């Protein structure tokens, strides 16, 4: 997909940035392989790219940035690679959490935590607890996350309410299921970006992506920078968003 050179200037009466941008950070391994480097170096450089994009998102004015950091399917990767990824997560929290907090960024974690090792579980809890009262942009980290399982869990909770006589099956609607998702207090993404050229969602925000604009870029994640983010937003602004209607609608 061709990309514009830059995002439109945010002047009076001109397009404003999307409220919520979600990113599937793909291509660390291929970036490393193309340079004859080990995969762990690709992941390390991917963390640097994440650091830069979080800063860029704040500068652009994005209120919610969701990153797909580790899926529930990623546990099938080689043990040494998982160990490297967990090590990078620990260093990211230890090295960057203070800066995120200083910049008034609120961190939210979505994903299954019960099965995580205690040290990882504690890190995720720490990131949320430290920043929970911050009023700035929200960084949503999808960790050990799978959209299908999220929807199943929401359906199970509704089924339990029905079984307990607290809810009638006829009362179940989109709003009620949405209220039981991990993202119940987060607006659905306006724009989902996937790097590396792959064109699929890979079990990411499947319910929430119903009316998101999808932009696939041929850039591996370690090379994704502010200019690439602005270009993706430029593509977003070229789309006519009708949300199932006949005329374009803007979301405030």
DSSP state string for 158-179:
HHHHHHTTSS-GGG--HHHHHT
Cβ proximity of 89 and 120 under 8 Å:
yes
> Alpha-carbon distance 242 to 246, whole Å?
6
- Residue where the block lists tokens 């929970």: 132
List the one residue out of 142, 136, 113 whose CA is nearest residue 125: 113
Are 131 and 100 spatial neighbours (Cβ–Cβ below 8 Å)? yes
Judge contact between 131 and 161, C-beta under 8 A. Answer: no
Q: Where in the sequence numbering do the catalytic residues fall?
A: 26, 74
């Amino acid at each position: 997909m061709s990309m514009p050179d830059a995002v439109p200037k945010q002047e009076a009466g001109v397009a404003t940035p999307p409220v919520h941008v979600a990113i599937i950070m793909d291509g660390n391994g291929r970036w490393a392989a193309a340079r004859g480097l080990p995969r762990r170096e690709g992941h390390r450089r991917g963390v640097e790219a994440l650091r830069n994009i979080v800063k860029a998102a704040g500068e652009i004015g994005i209120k919610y940035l969701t990153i797909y950091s580790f899926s529930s399917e990623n546990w099938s990767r080689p043990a040494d690679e998982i160990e490297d990824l967990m090590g990078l997560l620990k260093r990211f929290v230890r090295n960057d959490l203070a800066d995120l907090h200083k910049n008034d960024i609120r961190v939210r974690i979505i994903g299954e935590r019960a099965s995580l090792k205690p040290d990882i579980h504690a890190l995720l809890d720490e990131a949320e607890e430290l920043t929970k009262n911050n009023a700035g942009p929200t960084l949503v980290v999808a960790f050990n996350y799978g959209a299908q399982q999220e929807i199943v869990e929401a359906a199970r909770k509704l089924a339990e309410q029905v079984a307990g006589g607290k809810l009638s099956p006829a009362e179940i609607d989109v709003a009620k299921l949405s209220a039981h998702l991990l993202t119940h207090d987060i607006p659905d993404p306006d724009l989902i970006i996937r790097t590396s050229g792959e064109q699929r969602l890979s079990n990411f925000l499947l319910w929430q992506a119903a009316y998101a604009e999808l932009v696939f870029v041929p850039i591996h994640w370690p090379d994704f920078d502010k200019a690439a983010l602005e270009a993706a937003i430029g593509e977003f602004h070229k789309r006519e968003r009708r949300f199932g209607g006949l005329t374009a609608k803007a979301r405030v």
